[in-house]
């Protein structure tokens, strides 16, 4: 059975649509799962020590560099040990949460994970699912068209740097139930959420053999 690396980036433990849709995916997944919760346990941002450790032999590392290298090894080990990926990433202030960017910065090591071309990546061709969740609407013709800096960035990184075979599942208008002025969008929000759950279930079932 393929192993799934499931990463949650939402800062809130309950009431998160990205977590809920990801849970639907995991519930339909029939293989082993490694879960990393960046909301509960954020990884540190990449530091100068972490960068220096990548370009010097271990016997020359300072204590700070050794600690940084240990973290990078652990995160990269999780990435390489998985055959499929589930990234549940909400939009915060028009971009991806800094916790997810920190994770990317730790694992994107040239020559070890990423390469000059997508096909040079150590995980090239592996299936990945991005659960992209946003509180409003950002499509063509909406007042905030062009303000989504989360999904386009993540698509570029996951496909053109990591070389992953990516499917994006989007749920939008998730703030309609709680935000004054969005009352008229509640039905559309419910439809979007339901479609995201169904897409997550179908994607997981396609990627793993189902028990008889």
Pick the CATH number of 4-207 from 3.30.70.940, 3.40.50.360, 3.30.360.10, 3.30.1490.120: 3.40.50.360
Please state the rounded mean pLDDT for residues 180-195: 93
Question: Which two three-digit tokens encode residue 168?
Answer: 């994006």
SS3 190: helix
Kindly write down the DSSP assignment for every residue of 16-48, as one continuous string: -HHHHHHHHHHHH--S-EEEEETTTSPPPPP-H
157 CB-side CA count, 13 A: 18
Query: At residue 212, does pLDDT exceed 80?
Result: no
With tokens 């519930």, the residue in question is 27
> What's the mean pLDDT when you consider all of the chain?
95
Q: Is 34 buried (19+), middle (13-18) or exposed (0-12) by CB count in 10 A?
A: middle
Output the CA angle 156-109-88, nearest 5 degrees: 45
Share of residues in the chain with pLDDT > 70 (%): 99
Please state the rounded mean pLDDT for residues 26-53: 96
pLDDT at 6 (0 to 100): 98
Please state the rounded mean pLDDT for residues 31-42: 97
Is residue 210 very low, low, confident or very high in pLDDT (cuts 50, 70, 90)?
Answer: low
Query: At residue 192, does pLDDT exceed 90?
Result: yes
Rounded to the nearest 5°, which phi and psi values hold at 188? -65, -35
Is the pTM value of this prediction over 0.75?
yes
Query: At residue 190, does pLDDT exceed 70?
Result: yes
Query: At residue 209, does pLDDT exceed 80?
Result: no
pLDDT at 1 (0 to 100): 80
Query: At residue 123, does pLDDT exceed 70?
Result: yes
SS3 56: coil
39 CB-side CA count, 13 A: 18
Torsion angle of the four alpha carbons 128, 148, 8, 18, in this order, in degrees rounded to the nearest 10 = -100
Instruction: Name the residue among 133, 112, 145 with its Cα closest to residue 197.
Output: 133
Question: Which two three-digit tokens encode residue 141?
Answer: 């013709």
């Amino acid at each position: 059975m393929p192993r799934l690396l499931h990463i949650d980036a939402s800062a809130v433990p309950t009431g998160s649509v990205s977590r809920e849709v990801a849970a639907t995916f995991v519930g339909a997944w029939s293989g082993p799962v490694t879960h990393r919760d960046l909301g509960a346990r954020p990884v540190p941002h990449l530091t100068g020590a972490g960068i220096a450790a990548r370009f010097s032999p271990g016997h020359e590392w300072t204590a700070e560099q050794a600690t940084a290298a240990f973290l990078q090894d652990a995160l990269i080990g999780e990435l390489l040990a998985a055959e499929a990926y589930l990234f549940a990433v909400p939009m915060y202030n028009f971009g991806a949460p800094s916790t997810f960017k920190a994770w990317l910065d730790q694992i994107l090591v040239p020559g070890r994970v990423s390469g000059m071309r997508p096909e040079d990546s150590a995980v090239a061709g592996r299936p990945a699912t991005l659960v992209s969740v946003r509180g409003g609407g950002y499509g063509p013709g909406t007042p905030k068209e062009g303000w989504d800096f989360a999904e386009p960035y993540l698509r570029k990184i996951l496909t053109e740097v990591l070389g992953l075979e990516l499917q994006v599942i989007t749920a939008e208008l998730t703030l309609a139930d709680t935000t004054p002025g969005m009352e008229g969008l509640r039905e559309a929000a419910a439809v979007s959420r339901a479609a995201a759950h169904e897409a997550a279930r179908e994607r997981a079932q396609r990627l793993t053999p189902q028990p008889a």
